[in-house]
Structure 1
Amino acid sequence: MDPLRRSPSPCLSSRPSSPSTPPCEMLGPVGIEAVLDQLKIKAMKMGFEFNIMVVGE
């Protein structure tokens, strides 16, 4: 099983929460930060390359 894949969040379930259920907690970062983390993980797994252009006299 891929460690990056997570099971669906219990926060997204359609059943109403009862007083006995604990509040939902996020499993990781949400929003732009999550996208940047995913890109970083993908680059580290697949490898990456970059170009450097030096301009000067």
Structure 2
Amino acid sequence: MADEAEKSDSRRVVGVDGSESSVRALRRAAEIAEALSMPVEATMTWENPVMLANPPDAPPAGG
């Protein structure tokens, strides 16, 4: 029964940031996943930078 649960939840998740090494990792994960008949999920996340002040050419806040 544990094997069935592991099999149904099995997938390869790869973080991609656009760099050459992350693209190579994604390709390699796809090769491995194909050999194992498993899906691959590529993910990308980012965090918006915090702005501490308005840029000089930005309209005033609130208007």
TM-score by length of 1: 0.29
Structure with bigger gyration radius: 2
Greater relative contact order (Cα < 8 A, sep 6+):
2
